[in-house]
Amino acid sequence: MRIRLATGTLGLALIAAAAAALAPAAAGAAGKFKLTSAAFKNNANLPDRNAFNQMGCIGDNQSPALAWSDAPAGTKSFALLVHDPDAPTGSGWWHWVVYDIPADTTSLPEGAGKEGGAGLPKGAKQGRTDFGTAAYGGPCPPPGSGKHHYNFTLLALKVDKLEVPDGASPALVSFSANAAALGKAKLTGMYARGK
């Protein structure tokens, strides 16, 4: 009985060791869900062409080109949320909200965030931002407020479509997307208004 128990325990230990050795290889094969931009690197400055063009800011208000890879298995759609947590509102500022992005999409071209959504993939919807429009609104921090962080968060979702009403607040879209998220990829751009 002791011999069988020892053999059984040794067998389980060998199986566990083999599984542990294979797990990193399998995880590495899938890769890490990643969001990138040709316009800026993570934690680097956003170009002026991506900045807002009103309220004293003189950018081109072009949404940056974005690309992503290695979405989690089972992804049925994506949502993209762009938020400035440094805006002096108590709750930050929502700059861009896009959801129902089809699962086979792996990039958005520069300027995709124009009002009307003509540059977005078929079926994708733009939600209302804190600028009051359903379109991209670039960085435009208040004068003297220093560099702000602009968090581009792409969520891989387990649903084809978010169940949110037209005109839903950015917070509601964010809540619904986070509740359905299989994974997240984040890219942060920085921007300060010139003097």
Could you tell me which residues come within 8 angstroms of residue 57 by beta carbon, excluding any fewer than 6 positions away? Answer: 51, 138, 139, 140, 193
Domain 31-191 -> CATH class: alpha beta
Among 193, 187, 60, which residue's Cα sits nearest to residue 136? Answer: 60
Per-residue pLDDT of the chain (195 residues; tens, 9 = 90+): 444 444 444 343 333 333 333 333 333 335 799 999 999 999 999 999 999 999 888 899 999 999 999 999 999 999 999 999 999 999 999 999 999 999 999 999 999 999 998 999 999 999 999 999 999 999 999 998 999 999 999 999 999 999 999 889 999 999 999 999 999 999 999 999 876
Among 35, 111, 104, 97, which residue's Cα sits nearest to residue 66? Answer: 35
Q: What is the pTM of this model?
A: 0.83
